[in-house]
Structure 1
Amino acid sequence: MGLSNINKVNKNCDLFIMIGEDDYRGKGVGKIAMDWLMDYSFNKLKLHKINLGVIANNVPAVKLYKKLGFKIEGIMIDEVRYKNKYYNFYSMALFEKDYKKGVKI
């Protein structure tokens, strides 16, 4: 998990997170990490927007991001190849104003 491409001029960044161990999936670890990263981005770094990308068929992640207030800004068709199959990729974003509204799970 972390932030990359922090742009102080445009006040945005890219967020990345991966729960690699199956034992930790579905246990709220991603939510805790996302809460921390969003708080740090908007309250400490004073950013305007957080961007992230996710494979569209990662339903639990997409569901969490939407509940946290992220919106799909773009869909890249057949962008990711995994095990000889292609998957769509979502570009999602959360704006500070929406975060400040207190979107919660």
Structure 2
Amino acid sequence: QRPELFGAVVCWVPVIDMLRYHKFTVGRYWIPEYGNAQENPEHFKFMYAYSPLHNVREGVDYPPTLIMTADTDDRVVPGHALKFAATLQEKYAGPKPILLRVESKAGHG
């Protein structure tokens, strides 16, 4: 909500797309905890409001950000980190780095 208050951010194997997380690997088992935005309009409303991927905005002063994932993570697919890095890099035109690190031949942790 207030990224300008942070000196830096490190996201380690993050769940970022809260509207589609359940479509990947074991994400469907998290529905009782997070909800299902595609089947429940009330869930969609609150999940959209806090989904990091869907709340990246142009004109915001984002802190330096390092997003880390692993290429064979079967719990949190690398797509979350890849989409988040791409979205931040697309919408943030400031001087602070938005970095992505993909660990090769590694899993969730």
TM-score range, shorter-chain basis?
Answer: 0.3 to 0.5
If the length of structure 2 is used for normalisation, what is the TM-score?
Answer: 0.34
TM-score (norm 1): 0.35
Higher strand fraction (1 or 2): 1
Determine which structure has the larger helix proportion and give its number: 2
Q: Which has the higher contact order (CA 8 A, sep 6+)?
A: 2
